[in-house]
Amino acid sequence: MPKYDFPQDLRDAQLALHETRAAYEQYAKTLPWSAEPMPGWEGEKQLHSAYRSAKPASPGYTGEQAAEVRRFQNELRRLSAEVSTHPFWESLSGPDLVKGRMALMHAHEESAGQAA
């Protein structure tokens, strides 16, 4: 894969996007399965299996949880726009643009490897 001289602000924005996405995914694991209060349910037993799908009742998100989800989503949108509309991308076109975007997603791994 070709090497790209990504500007530091673009690298920083991409890394922040990775970190924010990871933090959001961790936070989402702590939330009820439904944002709105929903009753629990139990499905039918699957044919030739002891598996029976089920969900406990969900109390829904609290106001604080809903606000935190919105905060994460807004930050992810902002960072995504910052990365995808960065002026650096105007220097690439066609397949090079795609390869460059793919390389940026892993640029922080290279930096970490060089620091070690």
Residue 108 covered by a domain = yes
Per residue in 55-64, pLDDT (tens digit) is: 999 999 999 9
Strand pairing of 52-55 and 41-45? antiparallel
Q: Give pLDDT, residue 108.
A: 82
- Cα 54 from Cα 2, distance rounded (Å): 49
Say if 106 falls within a structural domain: yes
What is the domain range of residue 94?
A: 8-32+62-115
pLDDT digits (tens, 9 = 90+) for 83-109: 999 999 999 999 999 999 999 999 888
82's tokens: 């910052």
Is the residue at 90 inside a domain? Answer: yes
- Taking the C-alpha atoms of residue 48 and residue 18, their distance in angstroms, rounded to an integer, is 42
Domains in the chain, number? 1
The answer to pTM > 0.85 is no
pLDDT digits (tens, 9 = 90+) for 34-45: 999 999 989 888
Does the pLDDT at position 49 exceed 60?
A: yes
* Strand ranges for the chain from DSSP E: 41-45, 52-55
Largest CA distance in the chain: 58
